[in-house]
Amino acid sequence: MFGSVTIATRHREFRIAGAGWEHPAFRPHVTISVDDRRELDGVAPFAGDLVFGGEIWSK
């Protein structure tokens, strides 16, 4: 799980705009997961920058 000030700020903007919320313990984050059944005991968390494109909205 990677915390992000940018994601937390965007989340706060949605809340201020009236978005509903039912999970008070939630922390805005990015999680990337693939279940290929490998042992991950010795894997270190990614320490680089995550660079994403703009938001995409659809209905």
Where b means 16+ CB within 10 Å and e means fewer, 39-54 reads: eeeeeeeeeeeeeeee
Amino acid type, 31: T
Confidence (pTM) = 0.50
Q: Which sequence spans correspond to the domains of the chain? A: 1-34
pLDDT tens across the length of the chain (59 residues): 667 788 889 888 988 999 887 887 887 777 777 888 888 888 888 888 878 888 888 87
Nearest to 43 by CA among 53, 52, 34: 34
